[in-house]
Structure 1
Amino acid sequence: MRHLISINDLTDADLRSIVSRGTRFAAREHTPDRTLADQVVGIYFRKTSTRTRTAFSSGALRLGAQIVTFGPNDLQTNTGETVQDTGRVFARMLDMLVARTSGDPAEMRAWAHGQDRMAVVNAMSADEHPTQALADLVTLSRRFGRVEGLRVLYVGEGNNTAASLALALSRFEGTRLELRTPPGYGLADAIRERAVRQAASAGATVAEHHHMDDLPGDFDAVYTTRWETTGTTKPDPDWRTLFAAFRVTAALWEGSPKAVFMHDLPAHRGDEVTAEVLDGPMSIAFDQAENKMHSAMAALEWCRHGVIGAGSAGGSSGR
């Protein structure tokens, strides 16, 4: 069994195979094999979720697995049982656990600690949203036929979605990720530094600036997320004034007229993005949402079986 807690739990070959497999699922090249027919998948969400929970539930069922769902008040962790003890019990009854818990990355690692009978998938923690990045890469691959060489502009908070996108995209040759984040709300230093190192090794570029001036053009995709990430608050009471300059409007397409628009959803029209953009012809945000299911299927297969019929998503593999 393989855990997927961080994008960097995947080798380059793993990452490319999951993206390739998810792209094939999205293209509906064939009816999914029942590769998880003998598996039981636990779906445990202590935080709200529409796309990720539905994607993994639907994806597991389509691959032949049975699912057991748990809500925020269902487990004895609420009465003092440790995560480790609960995980030891789960591992004797479940084959995989897809979890969104408190957001604490240490807790997510605790679910996986010492487990060799049950795979654990991080369905979002405070520092990373790895399965969102997989959906993003599948979306780009499906739209452009490749990930290599694509230029992506990310506008908004350097949150867990931005972190996983940076850690994933920086491993594909020739890509450029330009992040424009509000001052004080950028990527965590450790995430940015790792993404920059990976980009240098892969022949890619990751750059972050805290203003919207002097934007380069010719982006293939413009990406944003909502300003208030699920389960978080901001200490600055006037943060909306700071974020206003980072709203995605149609003006961003003046230098990139062919760019698509991406959003991990849910969206708040008029905050991080205008309705004109989200509902306009350049938007592929709802294709991106659907691709969460296809990438979830590929991730579950990887956790259970490793590389399956992967083909290539391009570029070199290794690491």
Structure 2
Amino acid sequence: MSLVQAGKTYNLGGRDFIELTDYSTEEIRYLIDLAIEIKRKQKNGEAYQPLLGKTVGLIFEKSSTRTRVSFEVGVYQLGGHALFLSKNDIQLGRGETIADTAGVMSRYLDGIMIRTFGHDRVVDLARFSTVPVINGLSDLAHPCQVLADYQTIYEHKGQLEGLKLAYIGDGNNMAHSLMIGGAKLGVSVSIASPEGYEPDSQIMADSRELAAATGATIEVVRDPREAVKDADVIYTDVWASMGFEEEQKAREAAFASYQVNEELAALAKPDYLFMHCLPAHRGEEVSEGVIDGSNSIIFDQAENRLHAQKALMAALIG
């Protein structure tokens, strides 16, 4: 069943993808529908190459497994050429301005994906670029992951509106994008974070305002048991994301009671889904019994990074 009206399409060509706030509920639903259709084509061996003759630059100031592999493979499967650019490969890492980098790359490329630390770098790159810019991850948002996540939930549950997602752990970029996506799609999101590690207050306020239109609720609580109660989805992330490794010991202490384990998961609905954006640290933020258990769909969501990002590139660049 489609998430949008049968036959309805949206012209997203030339747009940037910085965060889900930039897209309407119907546009996000359309992208999920497109991802599911592209996935079907790929599984059936049907050719679909809207990027034929096009080149997409992939800027990595922050290393990755899933983002790099899924984008490179995705561009290839769509008929295009992916150009991997680490911070050591381009002058951006040696002091060239974002404006100059964007101006030059726009003359060579048909689209740009950037995975970086500061969100302002994504915003500035999009501001000065004349080709679509996709946020592959910043310290504030991870919209590509969340687009794939809600696609995965929809595939397993057959719906999005009315579901409850519990996110346990650091109020980081994943929590931010999950709240915004949930608010847009009618999924209630309950975040459980220890004091000092809550999500950004402005993003919380924005998400609650967006949720008012879809009937979803956005809440931040201290007790993970309160967040997980009757949840359809349990989601967690590492306690110390890339760039915060020096805080590992302090975070282990702060998050000690926030592990997603069998006892906590028992408070969710029996058919709950367990999700993790990976990489995971088994025995820290999640027990082996949960992440490797029958409710876990971590590899389905990892696979859907490929399909969701192909949908993005087909819609924005193709």
Structure 1 segment 1-319 matched on structure 2, within 5 A: 1-28=14-41, 31=46, 33-101=48-116, 103-116=117-130, 118-173=131-186, 175-215=187-227, 217-233=229-245, 238-255=250-267, 256-305=269-318
Q: CA deviation at 1:47?
A: 1.1
Distance 1:294 1:236 in 2: 33
SS at match of 1:23: helix
Q: CA deviation at 1:26?
A: 3.5
Distance 2:263 2:249 in 1: 28
Higher relative contact order (CA 8 A, sep 6+): 1
2:232 is aligned with what amino acid?
Answer: D
Greater shift in the superposed pair: 232-241 or 62-71: 232-241
Distance 1:69 1:216 in 2: 40
TM-score, reference length from structure 1? 0.90
SS at match of 1:92: helix
Residue 186 of structure 1 contacts residue 210 of structure 1 at CA under 8 Å; is this kept in 2? no
Change (3 A) 1:27 1:155: farther
Distance 2:21 2:250 in 1: 35
Change (3 A) 1:221 1:213: closer
Residue 239 of structure 2 contacts residue 251 of structure 2 at CA under 8 Å; is this kept in 1? no
Structure 2: 5+ residue runs without aligned partners? 1-13
Distance 2:212 2:219 in 1: 11
Q: Tell me the percent identity.
A: 33
Q: Which protein is richer in helix relative to its size?
A: 2
SS at match of 1:281: coil
Residue 26 of structure 1 contacts residue 142 of structure 1 at CA under 8 Å; is this kept in 2? no
Structure 1: 5+ residue runs without aligned partners? 306-319
Q: CA deviation at 1:291?
A: 0.5
Residue 27 of structure 1 contacts residue 142 of structure 1 at CA under 8 Å; is this kept in 2? no
Change (3 A) 1:275 1:114: same
1:197 is aligned with what amino acid?
Answer: E
Number of aligned pairs? Answer: 302
SS at match of 2:134: strand
Q: Deviations over 1:140-192 (max 9, x none)?
A: 1111122112111111111101100100111123x221111111101100110
Change (3 A) 1:296 1:32: farther
